[in-house]
Amino acid sequence: MLEKRIVVCLDVRDGKTTKGIRFKDNQDIGDPVEMAREYYLQGVDELVFYDITASAEGRGIMIDVVRRVAREIFIPFCVGGGLASVEDMREVLLAGAEKVSLNSQAVKNPGLISAGARLFGNQCIVLGMDVKSDPRFPSGYGVLINGGRTETGRDALEWAREAESLGAGEIVLNSVDADGTREGYELRITRLISGQAGIPVVASGGGGRPEHLAEVLTTGQADAALIASMVHYGDYRISGLKDYLFSQGVPVRRV
């Protein structure tokens, strides 16, 4: 059985790690370089770095912060935020990332996915999806962009399938409704996308207790669980979360 992964997310704004609830009321909580180093030492499987205002502000990613984080960790590292060209992707990969996350820019220009996959390989291209419950769509969920600020008119399942066909090698599926609430992952859409996609799906949004991780990695059929608040505020350590998952029969890498 394949090991399930724990992924820590660093949302970065103006050079600082920040956290909000449902994409609102963000508060700065620390230095992303120091936090990345700490989570690496705790045994996290992967790290995701999002420059959360790059797309909305129409600017490039904070590449200097990416370089500084990459020097501190020796695990898969995914970077996203405002990547609008293959040149942007190349710059991030040369700065030390193993993967690039395409979200808003991929919806605006789906050809970015296939261009990136062709040049760098499918395993490098991660589709970031911000989804929100919406009964107007067949899946029951619509896709938002620009940090959850803009509706796209796209159905979540339809977009996931299209992105996979274009060459995305992984999906990070974030529920805007659950984001930052710490009340549990959105299992319905996670199970739907995981069951239909032929590529790994990382569940994001709502992790608050170890039980939530076990639930989304089993019932939710996710390949990995992304967390933020539950470790950013010191409530849990990565090693303790993995010990719990192991005790529940969830296969994880333990140091």
Catalytic residue annotation: 11, 130
DSSP per-residue codes, 6-26: EEEEEEEETTEEEEEETTEEE
Instruction: Quote the tokens at residue 67.
Output: 């370089």
Q: How far apart are CA 95 and CA 73, in angstroms?
A: 13
Tell me which H or E stretch contains 159: helix 156-166
Q: Is 112 helix (H, G, I), strand (E, B) or coil?
A: helix
Nearest to 197 by CA among 154, 162, 155: 162
| Burial of residue 86 (number of CB atoms within 10 Å: 0-12, 13-18, 19+) | middle
Strand residue runs (E) in the chain:
5-13, 16-21, 24-30, 46-51, 77-80, 99-102, 125-133, 141-145, 150-155, 170-175, 201-204, 224-227
Q: Is 196 helix (H, G, I), strand (E, B) or coil?
A: helix
